Amino acid sequence: MNDRLFSIFTPCPNFFTFCSEFRVQDFRRASFALHAPSPVAAREFMGHHLSRLAGVILIPGDHYSTEEVAPLVSQIIIPSSMLPCLADFAAHHLAQLDRYIGSEDRHSFLTLENRRFELNNQRASEEFSLFRESLLNEIEERRATESALRESEERYRALVELSPDAIYIHTGGKLIFANSQGAVLLGVDRPEEIYGREALDFVHPDSREFVRQRIAKAFQTGEPNPPGEQIFVRVDGSQVPVEVASVPFRYQGEIALLAIVRDITERKRMQEELIKGQKLESLGLLAGGIAHDFNNILTGIVGNLSVAKLQIDPSHKIVNRLDLCEKAAFQATDLIRQLLTFARGGEPVKKFINPASLIRETGSFALRGSNIRSIIDIQENLWSMEVDESQLSQVLNNLLLNAIQAMPAGGEVGIRAANETLPHNNPQQLPPGNYLKIAVEDRGCGIPQENLIRIFDPYFTTKPKGSGLGLASVHSIIKRHGGAVEVSSTPGGGTTFTIHLPAIPGRQPENTGISESMELRGSGRVLVMDDEYFIREIATYILGFMGYEVDCCADGEEAVECFHTARKKNDPYSAVILDLTIPGGMGGKEAASRILEIDPDAVLIVSSGYSDDPVVASFSQYGFSGVVPKPFDAEGLTRELKRLIPNKK
């Protein structure tokens, strides 16, 4: 008996267990174990080693059949310790080889100790059935595992590629993976363009040391880094604010860092807008806090100036100076009103006006003293509007000021007004109907395209001395009037602002019945309630000068008592002027309600330094017949009285 060892060829994974144990034995003679990829490889192997092989067993597999294996089989010599393993492993193959070998019902296994181990075909068949069932189960489990793994990989790939956040992997400081959003964030077309680049190259220099420490800490502790804000630098040098979270992990056998990066540009913009809003709210509180006292003081100034004008010959040269003082005082009032309107959303005090005269007067006044010439083009029979005259004047002033600043060397500005009926689905996105179209056009330096989208943002300005409030106020006022404002500009070709405001065809402003040449004198008893002494004093002087009999009081409770007493004496007041806000006492709103309980036909006029108060904007809803905003002059006060007192029965 030749005691040379046999080689076993098999593609079966179970064979590796057998081979590993077989190689542990201390054999002097060579043994061969090979996973043959094909019959050709098997034949080549046996051709080279046949002189040393007494026989060969080839286990049939995917690459070769039993017919190819059978002619090579003779007897087997294996160590005794391997018999159980071989029995479980190869018994069914031996049974299949029977019909080709033509052997008896028993196969002999000769061990190195020359002891013979016999395995009959029946037992081999039973062993084979169990092995086959086990193998099929193992194959099915493997297929299920591989399928689940493929699905998991597909889900992961889809999750990574569809993620709105950028995802990067870097190892050794170099980027080795990025998803499509990661490429977009850094300004490249494909992720492969940044592979191999230093990850820190895309971090702003001011943040690199901080980021380097975060990376080192993650690798040292194995713990993830919580989200933190950083600045990334794109390949074109532009900067983008980001939020980065990272975690160390093993990737392709190496320690790597997975970073998830979110573009927070929009969040930063919203935060800035929120901060601006908070600043505006603070500004509104500040403006509102001083508006009442400021307008009260201006009332004393404007009222006395107007009284002085009434007592001086209109041809006197000092009258012009008094006019300029009066206009300056009203400009100070407009400044407070502008802050209130923009910061706190002051409601417009609307009335019907003829816009043509307002446009001409505002255009003339705003451009006075500048090197800009106005070209005013107003359509005939311009429709009337119901607007806050002061706020519309403020809008035109701001637009004309913007035109003056755009043409420091001088030039022309066009002011055009026309009637226009807007259809459904109009570009202005306004309800269909009748509108007044006002355009202010300059021939200045123009506005760059990237600034046009921000032109109405609070505090946005490109002018060294600009506040960024003017155009924001324009937008706020026009929107509050139910209109729209648009801007078009070409760098170097000038800028045009176009306003659309609701108009009312066929309706003219109410005639007060007072001609300009008629003296604003009247008669009747008037009660003035105001907490400021100098307001009561100037109102008493003006009304007394104009022919009225005036009583004064300091708060609402006193006003109600005076009104009630006058009625009991059968000497009622023709009108009552009530200050809206009385610190520490009854204000005009509550006093009006109490007075109307006494006399529902009482003529009540609200007066307030809070120009944005809803009672001033919608006075009739609170029982008032008219309004005299502060600061008021002699003409404004007496005109309102002249309008209302004749209507009292």
460-496 pLDDT, tens per residue? 666 655 556 678 778 888 988 999 999 999 888 899 9
Go through 70-87 and write b for each residue having 16 or more CB atoms within 10 A of its CB, e for each that does not: bebbebbbbbeebeebbb
pLDDT in tens, 498-538: 999 999 987 766 554 444 434 678 889 999 999 989 899 99
- Give the whole-number percent of the chain exceeding pLDDT 90: 34
pLDDT of residue 371: 87
Residue 108 scores a pLDDT above 80: no
**Closest residue by Cα to residue 623 from 581, 579, 585, 593:** 593
Sign of CA dihedral 351, 355, 361, 365: positive
CATH number at residue 226: 3.30.450.20
Q: How far apart are CA 463 and CA 473, in angstroms?
A: 17
Query: Residue 167 domain-assigned?
Result: yes
pLDDT of residue 247: 92
Which one has a higher pLDDT value, 280 or 243? Answer: 243
How many domains is the chain partitioned into structurally? 3
pLDDT in tens, 232-278: 999 999 999 999 999 999 887 888 999 999 999 888 888 877 776 67
123-132, 178-187, 269-278, 399-408: segment of lowest average pLDDT: 123-132
DSSP-derived letter for residue 521 is -
pLDDT of residue 53: 36
pLDDT of residue 467: 57
Question: For the sheet containing 372-378, what is the strand order?
Answer: 372-378, 411-422, 433-442, 494-502, 484-490
pLDDT in tens, 596-616: 999 999 999 999 877 667 788
Query: Residue 111 domain-assigned?
Result: yes
186 shares a domain with 98: no
Q: How far apart are CA 89 and CA 18, in angstroms?
A: 9
102 shares a domain with 28: yes
Which one has a higher pLDDT value, 338 or 38? Answer: 338
Reported as a pLDDT band with limits 50, 70 and 90, residue 284 is: low
pLDDT of residue 487: 92
631 cis-preceded (ω within 30 degrees of 0): yes
pLDDT in tens, 392-439: 888 998 899 888 888 888 888 999 999 999 999 898 889 999 999 999
137-146, 294-303, 586-595: segment of lowest average pLDDT: 137-146
pLDDT of residue 613: 74
Q: What would the mean pLDDT of 32-59 be, rounded to a whole number?
A: 40
130 shares a domain with 54: yes
Q: How far apart are CA 379 and CA 303, in angstroms?
A: 36
Task: Tell which of 135, 151, 184 closes a domain.
Answer: 135
Task: Check if the beta carbon of residue 91 is closer than 8 Å to that of residue 130.
Answer: no
Which one has a higher pLDDT value, 177 or 649? Answer: 177
Reported as a pLDDT band with limits 50, 70 and 90, residue 28 is: very low
List the domain range (segments joined by +) for residue 616: 525-647
Biggest CA–CA distance in the chain, Å, is 151
Please, is 566 exposed, middle or buried when counting C-beta atoms within 10 Å of its C-beta (0-12, 13-18, 19+)?
middle
Q: For residue 209, what are the CA distances in angstroms to 194, 418, 508? A: 21, 63, 72
Sequential DSSP letters for 20-58: HHHHHS--SS---EE--SSHHHHHHHHHHHGGG-S-EEE
pLDDT of residue 310: 80
The number of beta carbons lying within 10 Å of the beta carbon of residue 192 is: 10
pLDDT of residue 70: 43
pLDDT of residue 110: 37
pLDDT of residue 382: 92
Task: Tell which of 263, 292, 314 closes a domain.
Answer: 263
Contacts with 314 (C-beta within 8 Å, 6 or more apart), sequence order: none
Give me the phi and psi of 4, to 5 degrees please. -65, 150
pLDDT of residue 74: 39
- Give the whole-number percent of the chain exceeding pLDDT 70: 70
Q: How far apart are CA 608 and CA 591, in angstroms?
A: 14
pLDDT of residue 509: 65
Q: How far apart are CA 215 and CA 168, in angstroms?
A: 13
pLDDT in tens, 561-598: 999 999 999 999 999 999 988 888 899 999 999 999 99
119 shares a domain with 196: no
Tokens of 132: 């086959």
Task: Tell which of 240, 263, 286 closes a domain.
Answer: 263
Query: Residue 144 domain-assigned?
Result: no
Residue 630 scores a pLDDT above 70: yes
pLDDT of residue 282: 73
Which one has a higher pLDDT value, 89 or 416? Answer: 416
603 shares a domain with 558: yes
* pLDDT, mean over the chain: 76
Q: How far apart are CA 320 and CA 326, in angstroms?
A: 10
Query: Residue 178 domain-assigned?
Result: yes
93 shares a domain with 42: yes
For the entire predicted model, the pTM comes to 0.49
Query: Residue 331 domain-assigned?
Result: no
Which one has a higher pLDDT value, 67 or 35? Answer: 67
Among the residues of 61-120, which ranges form H helices? 66-69, 83-101
pLDDT of residue 340: 63
Which one has a higher pLDDT value, 107 or 188? Answer: 188
Q: For residue 193, what are the CA distances in angstroms to 180, 188, 189, 190? A: 11, 7, 8, 6
Task: Check if the beta carbon of residue 88 is closer than 8 Å to that of residue 127.
Answer: yes
Query: Residue 147 domain-assigned?
Result: no
CATH number at residue 535: 3.40.50.2300
Which one has a higher pLDDT value, 541 or 17? Answer: 541
Residue 183 scores a pLDDT above 70: yes
Residue 649 scores a pLDDT above 90: no
Q: How far apart are CA 561 and CA 542, in angstroms?
A: 24
Tokens 């055009």 -> residue: 416
- Single-letter amino acid, residue 519: E
172 shares a domain with 127: no
Which one has a higher pLDDT value, 24 or 64? Answer: 64
Tokens 């009292």 -> residue: 648
pLDDT in tens, 308-365: 888 888 888 888 888 888 888 877 776 666 666 655 555 677 888 889 988 998 888 7
127 shares a domain with 17: yes
124 shares a domain with 12: yes
218 shares a domain with 128: no
Best mean pLDDT range from 12-26, 382-396, 466-480 = 382-396
614 shares a domain with 542: yes
14 shares a domain with 114: yes
Q: How far apart are CA 9 and CA 7, in angstroms?
A: 7
49-58, 438-447, 572-581: segment of lowest average pLDDT: 49-58
Query: Residue 334 domain-assigned?
Result: no
Query: Residue 358 domain-assigned?
Result: no
Reported as a pLDDT band with limits 50, 70 and 90, residue 159 is: confident
